Structure formats: structure tokens, C-alpha cells
Structure 1
Amino acid sequence: MYARCSTNPDCGCLPFSSVDGQSGICAYLHLNPSTLRTCNTNNYYCDQLNTMCVHHPSLSMSRLLCYPTGMTSLDMCPPFVQNLTTSPSTTTSIPLAELCANVSWTKQGVTVAGSTYIGTALNQLRNPTSFVLDSKTNTLYIADYGNGRMVTWELGAKNGSLVFEGNGVGNRTDKLGWISGMVQDPNDGSLIICDGTNRRIVRWSQHSNKSEILINNLHCGSLALDNQGLLYISEYNDHRVSRWILRKNLTHDGIVAGNNGKGNRLDQLNNPLGLFIDHKQDIYIADFSNDRVVKWEKDAKEGTVSGKVRWPRIVRVSQSGNMYSIDGYYNRIIRWTPEDTIDGTIIIGEKQYTLSQPHDIAFDENGNVFVLNYGSGRVDRFDINKSICL
């Protein structure tokens, strides 16, 4: 009971209520039990979708809880011997390959999606705005804004494939607006999308050519998932970050950063965009109009400046504490080490025109950097060079 069942030490075995503790689920343990409903003690039934009736270690055995199945995903609680093809990857963290402080990346990228010219063909992109790298299937999901479509692109392929038809830019449920952030739901592989111009959060299933609206009237800047499956949304016009419980629908869980009006004080934000949530639920925010990246520790009332950068669009943080962001003004990628918290170092884009209006980045499991270029309609890969680390 409650024994280790995963390579993640925060996961444990929660026994099913109906079988005298002899079997159960391997789940992330550190949800607040007070936010969960109790089961029907007569038949061990949960009236919520995507939940199951279990015992929880912080409560007496007499109280039974409806525990969300999203807390049992293989990404969150990988088994000691993991089948890497069973579920999509949701993490944006950078792997251990990056740990060497002197690691570098190639100066010139290799195009892995798109072509020399922008266009409408399936081997072309037009002004893409955001993407997700599913490292388990080596597939890119790309919001191809200029063509009003979503495409997948397997690494090594010459052409992409349509996920959602190109019905043009618009606010109908079969159309897309300006997509400034996406995450992949670990439960079913669907895409949770920040449709900024249409002021909504939508879910796109791979089995449907229409979106399901999860939130209306919210001008989102970007999205991030933490290791508990909670969804964070940067609210661009409201200058704050909110947290949501991700189930079939979204349930508001509070404001976790900002909410003190537009400004540049440490308790304020100004048009926040990209987010990163670490394992402690500390929040890193690309504070776009304040030209800075700020860190808000869990439950903090104000943030601290982690880096100065012009027009930051995204932020990523590695397991070793190095931080990465896009310098949107100078078209380059900046890295900050824990010892260098202000100026940072240019790692990609030292030469002019290496990048063309970069809007998003991702890292594969080897530490290679993928950069989405809005201007040139390409995704380029910059390979990591670890020779100096040997």
C-alpha cells in the first residue's frame, strides 16, 4: 500500500476501495485531498468523469476519494521499465545531456519542416506560430497560421500531413486564429490550444476536424502543464497567470502570478506570454512588454527577475537550472546559467539572419534545439555539441 511503483519518487500505489487494498493504481500522490470529491461508500462509484475510487495516504482508510486518472499517466508516473510508445510526451524540460556548462550548438540549423519558400503545399508552411515536439513519436505538431491549418511533420519526412483542414483563419470551430501556445493532453493525446485572437482555449482531437471550446473570452498568451497535470494559462491582456484543473473540461483553480494590474513592479506583469513550470510548481514567465523573464515561486506574492531580454516569447528551464528564451527583438536564443541571471549568453543567432522571427523552441531528448521561424516558414534543428564535456 502506497509503495513505490514508478521511477518518479512522488508517485505511489493507491489501493482501489473495492478490493481490500490488494490492488490499485500507480498515481501522483501530492494532490490536495480537500479538492477531491468522496466516493459513494455503498458501491465505490464516482460520479465524475475520468476518476476512480481509491484510498489516499494522507487520509484515514474510512474516507474514499475520487482520484483523477490524469494523475496516473505514464508520463507523470513512468514505471521502472517503461514502454516509451504508450503515451505522448508533455514535458518541456531539457534533458540531462545539456548538463555540461560549456555545451554548445551548431551555428547553422538544418530544416526539418517547411522548405526554402513559404507556401500552401504540404511541404511548405506559411507564418507558423507555435509547435509541439512529441519526442516519443518524433513528430512535430505545427500551427500553420498563414494557411489556417494544423499539420504534423515526422522528423526526416519531406512533407507534412494535415491534422485539421485548412479552412482559413477565423473564429468558427472549424477554423483557427493566432495560436500562441499548445500543449498535448497526456490522457488522450489531444491538443490544448491557446487561440489568442479568438480569445479562447480549445481542444483539438486527432479524430475530429472541429475544435471543442473549453474557455471563452480569455485572451491567452501561452500554456504550460506541470507534473501534476495542472494547466497554467498566461492571460495576456489581464497581465496575470491562472491555473486550471485539466479534465474533460477545465476548472479554475486560482490566480498564481500577477493580478495586480499592468506594470513593471515585481508583483506585476505586462503582457505575459510563454510559461514554464518546474517540479516544485515554481513558474517562469516570459514577461513580454517588460523585456524580462521572471520567476514566481509557488504561492509567492511577487516574482524575481531571472533574465533581461527584449520581447521574450517563450521560456524553458533545464534540469540543471539553465534557462532559455527567445530574444524577439534581435532574433536569437539566449541561455542563462544559475550564476548568470541577468545578461545571459547567445547560443543561436549570433549572426544576423540565422533565425527569422523565431516564435517557439523545443528540445529533444538528446538536447538538440528546434526553432520555429515565423518569418521564413520553417522549423530548423540546431544539433548539440557535447565534445567539450567529455
Structure 2
Amino acid sequence: MWNSSVTLITGATGSAGSTPTFLSSPFDVQFDQYQQMYVVDYGNHRIQQFTLGSNVGRTVAGITGSAGSTRGQLNYPAAIYIDSNDVMYILDSSNYRVIQWPLGSQLGSVVVNGRGAGSTLDKIGVSYAMFVFNNTYIYVSENGNHRVTKWTISNNNLGQLMAGGAGAGSTAERLNSPWGVYV
């Protein structure tokens, strides 16, 4: 039977904010091996970490309210993955890149693209979802390019087309603004 009761963990229904207890357009949630929760705080350009039982977040990537493209900043992050080595992979949507960011570090390293938006296979377009496979490949669901690309973490120079890419559409070889990917 469906449990219809909801427990609010952090933030406030209908209210956005940038303090440690508020979020602005949260996009994704992941848990690490220690059961700490990480929230992609899209509107505040940051990743917030929440300890079990606490509604107070701590910024672990990005700078609250400050969009940017340096290795210490994020610009509308959209998705996150945390591996068993305590490394975050962050889809930094408006910088058209994926950043590898070790927990506890002040800086990340670009592992996918980082060369600006585009539709050629050396760039990614507007994206809101990714999937990290075996800490080797990153699949990016490119909403704006109507495609899914696969990138090798050790060589981010060129992505491989996995699906779509021939423009928006509903035929077998086309995708229309994909928002998710799971491998």
C-alpha cells in the first residue's frame, strides 16, 4: 500500500532561498556510502551536503549564488553522481561540462567538454542528466542537441553518439529533448 505521508527534509514548500536550510530549484539527489545526502541546488549554483537527521546543508561544490566558469564555480548544475572513492561528478549545465570534484576539495577538474556549447561531438549542448558507468564512461543526455553521447573520463576530447543526434523527432533514429539517461 502506498504511504501518502511526506517528510520534508530541507527547504520549505513554495519558498526558495540561499541559506543553509533553503534550496532554489533542486534538480538531483544522491547519497554517498555514509548515507549523507547531496542535493544539486540548481538556482544557487552549488551542491549541498546534508548529514542524516539534519536539515542544515553545507556547500561542498560551487559558490552560493555566484555562477561562474572557474574550477571552483558552477553555473546551474543539474545532476550529480558520487563514486565509492568519494568523488563527485557534476553536470554543470550552463558551462556545458562535467566536473570531477573530490569531496573536501575546493576545486574540480573538467572531465567532459568544457569547450563551450555546440552540436559537434567535441562539445555538449544544454543537458540536464548524466549517468556514470564503471567510473570510466559518462553518458550525457543532451536535451538541446536531441541526443545521448558517451564520453571516456580519461579522454574527454570527443564524445560518441549513442542515440539521436539527427534533430528533434519521433522516428526511431531521433530523440526529442531527452531529459534522462540510464545505462
SS in 2 for 1:197: helix
Residues 174 and 253 of structure 1, relative CA distance in 2, 3 Å threshold: closer
What is the aligned partner in structure 1 of residue 173 from structure 2?
A: 267
1:254 match:
160
Question: Who is 1:239 aligned against?
Answer: 146
Q: Does the Cα contact within 8 Å between 2:12 and 2:22 map onto a contact in 1?
A: yes
What amino acid does structure 2 have at the position aligned with 1:223?
A: M
Structure 2 vs 1, CA of residues 146 and 156 (structure 1 numbering), >3 Å: closer, same or farther?
same
Runs of at least 5 residues in structure 1 that lack an aligned partner in the other structure? 1-103, 278-390
Matched residue, 1:195 = 92
* RMSD (CA atoms): 2.3
- Output aligned runs, 1:327-366, within 5 Å: none
% same residue: 25
Amino acid at match of 2:148: V
TM-score normalised over the length of structure 1: 0.40
**Residue pair 1:145, 1:176 contacting (<8 A) in 2 also:** no
Counterpart residue number, 1:176: 74
Which among 32, 36, 39 is matched to residue 139 of structure 1?
36
The structure with the largest alpha-carbon Rg is: 1
Q: Alignment partner of 1:275: what SS?
A: coil
Distance 1:275 1:206 in 2: 24
Residue 12 of structure 2 is aligned to residue 106 of structure 1: no
Q: Deviations over 1:299-330 (max 9, x none)?
A: xxxxxxxxxxxxxxxxxxxxxxxxxxxxxxxx
1:360 match = none
Distance 1:213 1:246, change over 3 A: closer
1:161 aligns with 2:58: yes
TM-score by length of 2: 0.79
1:67-112: CA deviations, max 9, x gaps?
xxxxxxxxxxxxxxxxxxxxxxxxxxxxxxxxxxxxx432231012
Q: How far, CA to CA, are the matches of 1:115 and 1:236 in structure 2?
A: 29
SS of 2:53's equivalent?
coil
CA–CA distance in 1 between the matches of 2:153 and 2:103? Answer: 18
TM-aligned CA distance change 1:243 to 1:236, over 3 Å: same
**Aligned residue-pair number:** 171
- Native 8 Å contact 1:145 1:169 kept in 2: no
Q: In the alignment, which residue of structure 1 is the partner of 2:119? A: none
User: Match of 1:29?
Assistant: none
Residue 153 (structure 1) shift? 0.6
1:139 CA drift (Å): 1.2
Alpha-carbon shift at residue 168 of structure 1 (Å): 1.0
| Superposition pairs of residues 1-390 of structure 1, within 5 angstroms | 104-115=1-12, 117-134=15-32, 136-164=33-61, 165-166=63-64, 168-186=66-84, 188-214=85-111, 215-216=113-114, 217=116, 218-219=124-125, 220-227=127-134, 229-247=136-154, 249-250=155-156, 252=158, 254-277=160-183
- The C-alpha deviation readout for 1:93-149, integer Å capped at 9, x for no partner, is xxxxxxxxxxx4322310123245432221222222222122x31111112233332
Compute the displacement of 1:236 (Å).
2.1
Asked whether the equivalents of residues 10 and 21 of structure 2 are also in contact (C-alpha less than 8 Å), the reply is yes
| Counterparts in 2 of 1:234 and 1:146: CA distance versus 1, 3 Å | closer
How far is the alpha carbon of 1:229 from its aligned partner?
Answer: 4.2
Distance 2:128 2:24 in 1: 21
SS of the residue aligned with 1:111?
coil
Unaligned runs of 5+ in 2: 117-123
Residue in structure 2 matched with residue 48 of structure 1 by the alignment: none
Flag the 1:114–1:241 CA change in 2: closer, same or farther, 3 A: same
